[in-house]
């Protein structure tokens, strides 16, 4: 390849880099754009790494949009886990055997805390969807009077059952959040007791006892979840056959208020 061909090839790559830099640049003043394009054509080996790193950073950010905005529960769990890690690390040189046999339960506890927070978020999303659907607006049935009254009565009973179920979901959500916050507070209390025991010269058996209580917190989370799942209301049975409009009657038409 001769010198002319090399120069043309160099300019061709420079033009491609200049176009890419122009498309991703938000500042569009004439002077800045002219300088950017000209310098990118002439010195594209300097611009190419910057271009690639910028696109990689944007791609990473777009793949994890929720990671930059943790909610209140995520921040609380992260703070408790940080304090717990510090307390467990402080066992070195004092009560190294306190973690023996409890590593798996403490790992399970971390997963249980995250799962409980995710469950609360799911309830929040579900309640928001139900609330936004405005299912409390009933149409007025018109047609055969007895059949219309029966249909309206069934609709009203269903709407009352819906309101009760939504209220129950809200109660479950509030209880789950309160249980999560109480568990986190209990873990922090036990963590502070580990530090207190260490600096007051308590025996290593005291650390083993406290670590065991922390690990046992996962059982409390599981028990609360099981209790809530067992106490859900039973599904309503379909209306009796004699409450349905007879087949020979004309279908009901519904008109909005």
Condensed to tens digits (0 to 9), the pLDDT of residues 112-149 reads 999 999 999 999 999 998 887 655 555 555 555 666 77
Q: How far apart are CA 65 and CA 63, in angstroms?
A: 6
Is pLDDT larger for residue 174 or for residue 37?
174
3-state secondary structure of 235: coil
Count of all residues that appear for the chain in the document: 257
- Chain-centroid distance, C-alpha 52: 31
181 Cβ contact list (under 8 Å, min separation 6) = 76
> With 50 as the cut, is the pLDDT of residue 22 above it?
yes
What tokens appear for 176 in the block?
A: 């789950």
Is pLDDT larger for residue 226 or for residue 209?
209
What pLDDT shows up at residue 117?
94
Give yes or no for a contact between 84 and 113, defined as CB atoms under 8 angstroms apart.
no
Q: How far apart are CA 172 and CA 225, in angstroms?
A: 10
3-state secondary structure of 217: helix
Confidence category of residue 4, pLDDT binned at 50, 70, 90: confident
Element (H, E) at 255: strand 253-255
Place of tokens 């160099």: 10
Give yes or no for a contact between 169 and 131, defined as CB atoms under 8 angstroms apart.
no
What tokens appear for 76 in the block?
A: 């609380």
Rg of the chain taking only CA atoms, in angstroms: 32
Q: How many CA atoms lie within 13 A of 252 on its CB side?
A: 18
> With 90 as the cut, is the pLDDT of residue 194 above it?
yes
3-state secondary structure of 242: helix
219 Cβ contact list (under 8 Å, min separation 6) = none
Give yes or no for a contact between 98 and 204, defined as CB atoms under 8 angstroms apart.
yes
Give yes or no for a contact between 117 and 73, defined as CB atoms under 8 angstroms apart.
yes
pLDDT cut 90: percent of the chain above it = 32
pLDDT in tens, 148-190: 778 778 888 888 888 899 999 999 999 999 999 999 999 999 9
Which segments of the chain does DSSP mark as H helices, in order?
3-24, 30-42, 44-63, 72-89, 103-132, 145-199, 204-230
134 Cβ contact list (under 8 Å, min separation 6) = none
Query: Phi and psi dihedrals of 28, rounded to 5?
Result: -125, 30
The ranges assigned to domains in the chain are 3-49, 70-235
Place of tokens 């018109």: 142
């Amino acid at each position: 390849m001769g010198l002319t061909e090399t120069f043309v090839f160099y300019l061709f790559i420079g033009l491609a880099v200049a176009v890419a830099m122009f498309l991703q640049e938000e500042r569009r003043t004439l002077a800045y754009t002219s300088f950017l394009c000209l310098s990118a054509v002439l010195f594209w080996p300097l611009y190419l790494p910057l271009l690639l790193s910028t696109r990689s950073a944007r791609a990473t950010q777009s793949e994890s949009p929720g990671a930059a905005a943790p909610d209140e529960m995520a921040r609380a769990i992260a703070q408790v886990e940080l304090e717990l890690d510090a307390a467990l690390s402080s066992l070195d040189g004092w009560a190294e055997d306190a973690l023996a046999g409890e590593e798996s339960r403490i790992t399970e506890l971390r997963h249980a805390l995250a799962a409980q927070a995710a469950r609360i978020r799911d309830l929040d999303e579900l309640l928001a969807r139900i609330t936004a659907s405005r299912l409390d607006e009933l149409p007025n049935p018109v047609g055969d009077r007895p059949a219309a009254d029966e249909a309206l009565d069934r609709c009203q009973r269903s709407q009352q059952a819906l309101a009760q179920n939504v209220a129950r979901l809200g109660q479950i959500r509030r209880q789950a959040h309160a249980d999560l916050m109480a568990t986190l507070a209990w873990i922090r209390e036990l963590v502070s007791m580990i530090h207190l025991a260490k600096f007051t010269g308590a025996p290593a058996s005291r650390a083993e006892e406290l670590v065991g209580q922390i690990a046992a917190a996962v059982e409390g989370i599981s028990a609360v979840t099981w209790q809530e799942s067992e106490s859900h209301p039973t599904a309503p049975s379909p209306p009796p056959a004699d409450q349905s409009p007879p087949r020979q009657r004309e279908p009901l038409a519904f008109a909005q208020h």
